[in-house]
Amino acid sequence: MTLWIVVAGACAAALTPYVWLMTASAGRRRTTDTVPRRPVAVVLGAGAWTDGPSPLLARRLDLAVRLYLDDRVERVIVSGDNREMSCRETDTMTDYLLAHGVPADRVDADPHGYRTWDTCVRVRDLFGVRAAVMVTQSFHLPRTIALARAAGIDAVGVGDPSMGARRRSTVIGYAREAAAAVKALRDAVLRPAPAHSGP
């Protein structure tokens, strides 16, 4: 009997972070057609290649373009790792948005969004974001919304399902969310400073 209690307790502890993500983002995961208007869309980085954004990143950026052109947002902030070893992620994201119809004066870049929590804190502090549409893949969306809300942002989100286009990457993405949920809950509770806190 004691063993079953221990096992049940361990299972509950393991599930708690993921349940928190789903609860914190409940009712806030929308489509481009149903998302409420917000001042800004925040697009999280997902890897750039030497010749442009990775396929998953391009799909995120396509969502942001649609949100802007449909007047769901007034601005777009791209956040990612802009170091050379990451193929200048935010530069690549910015170029893609401009090439697809978003004016340059409507795009801002956070070149030090190394983690989801870092992005949420930095866009809040550096750009004064208090309400946003978070844009990422569907598997990443609950964690992104939950962390943005923990950082004090009134966040809703739009996710790209990506399964049909990048099945392997999407399956891996869903699988890693279980472990990432634990780290996310820790970030929400401890509220660490971003790895890079300057502009």
Q: Nearest to residue 136, comparing CAs of 155, 114, 161? A: 161
183 within domain boundaries:
yes
CA of residue 139 relative to chain centroid, distance: 10
195 within domain boundaries:
no
Q: How far is CA 115 from CA 12, 15, 31, 172, in A?
A: 26, 22, 24, 17
Q: Are 44 and 80 in contact (CB under 8 A)?
A: yes
Q: Which domain holds residue 88?
A: 2-190
Quote the pLDDT of residue 11.
Answer: 42
197 within domain boundaries:
no
- The whole-number average pLDDT for the span 125-131 is 97
Tokens 């966040």 — which residue? 155
Residues 136-150: tens digit of each pLDDT: 999 999 999 999 999
Residues 89-109: tens digit of each pLDDT: 999 999 999 999 999 999 999
CA 137 to CA 139: how far, in whole Å? 5
Q: What percent of the chain has pLDDT over 70?
A: 86
Q: How many domains does the chain have?
A: 1
pTM: 0.89
The pLDDT of residue 10 is above 60: no
Secondary element (H or E) of residue 77: strand 75-79
Contacts of 161 (CB under 8 A, 6+ apart): 137, 138, 170
139 within domain boundaries:
yes
Residues 15-70: tens digit of each pLDDT: 678 788 889 899 999 999 999 999 999 999 998 999 999 999 999 999 999 999 99
The pLDDT of residue 159 is above 90: yes
CA of residue 135 relative to chain centroid, distance: 6
CATH of the domain at 92: 3.40.50.620
Q: Nearest to residue 157, comparing CAs of 146, 145, 148? A: 145
199 within domain boundaries:
no
Quote the pLDDT of residue 137.
Answer: 95
80 within domain boundaries:
yes
76 within domain boundaries:
yes
182 within domain boundaries:
yes
Q: For all residues of the chain together, what is the average pLDDT? A: 89
Torsion angle (degrees, nearest 10) of CA 137, 138, 139, 143: 90
